[in-house]
Structure 1
């Protein structure tokens, strides 16, 4: 009995929506302000979810399934890379943590766009601060786990035994 690719697309979309909803909850209800790397990871969850919902709606043939799967996998790999960078920053000794930068609003209003995006992608000292944990793991660790799971689901959506 084969599973339908539509169920996998729905699963990926639902997971991305749930993860983003929880991120917004922690930001607006719990008062946890996202660092540059957190925002970058959110962008990759959004992109993955958008590709999944488009594949769910348009129900592509085999080539389209490969393209959708590849886009979702690449997005998850990139997002996982940024999550890993944040985990690495959080594990640095305090004397090696980069200096904290200005707020994102300030950067995008007053700095050249290339410098603002560089900080957004590389992170700063704010990204090394662990302000939330669950079962002893920080938010970027959970984000990395989610990216790995979503990447596996994206690959599964293109496998030959998965029904269109």
Structure 2
């Protein structure tokens, strides 16, 4: 049995990202779970990962291109895992040690310079530490971290895979 082609694996990874984003939009628009700034960054990372995988599936590159796409996808997954890990950490520290709540993301975009927005978002806030929904005992950021770990494994496999 021959292994799956890189093109079909990239397509599968893209479809997995579509499913993840579908779940995120369901949680937001049907269940009313509003995303915090760290959640928004994680969503952007999933979208970038999926877009890179879609490009790789459509392009069907050679070995060098496959590694390039896998590297870009892995970078996106690494950033997403970092933000998800930060959010899981925020959820597990005592409430009195949490930073104050942030203004809305729209307000920050209008009123603050990009560097300050970036710093505040990565710092996190009490909003990011709330656990309003769980599945099988895991919060949304924990599921997100698990998904990013899978994305990193996928990107590593594609990066190290022999032709």
- TM-score normalized by the length of structure 2: 0.94
Quote the offset at 1:55 in angstroms.
0.2
User: Would the alpha carbon gap of residues 66 and 107 (structure 1) be closer, same or farther in structure 2, given more than 3 Å must change?
Assistant: same
Q: What is the number of equivalent residue pairs in this alignment?
A: 162
Alpha-carbon shift at residue 113 of structure 1 (Å): 2.5
Distance 1:29 1:73 in 2: 31
User: What are the superposed Cα offsets for residues 80-112 of structure 1, whole Å, 9 maximum, x if unpaired?
Assistant: 011000000000101101110111111112222
Q: How far apart are residue 4 of structure 1 and its match? A: 0.7
RMSD: 1.3
* Structure 1 gap segments, 5+ residues each: none
Matched ranges for 1:87-98 at <5 A: 87-98=88-99
Secondary structure of 2:38's aligned partner: helix
- Does the CA contact (< 8 Å) of 1:132 and 1:138 recur in 2? yes
State the partner residue of 1:55: 56
Shift of 1:160: 3.6
Matched, 1:18 2:1: no
- The TM-score, its normalising length taken from structure 1, stands at 0.93
Higher relative contact order (CA 8 A, sep 6+): 1
User: 1:43 aligns to what?
Assistant: 44
Residue pair 1:5, 1:158 contacting (<8 A) in 2 also: no
Greater mean deviation of Cα atoms: 112-121 or 82-91: 112-121
**Alpha-carbon distance between aligned partners in 2 of 1:116 and 1:152, rounded to the nearest angstrom:** 30
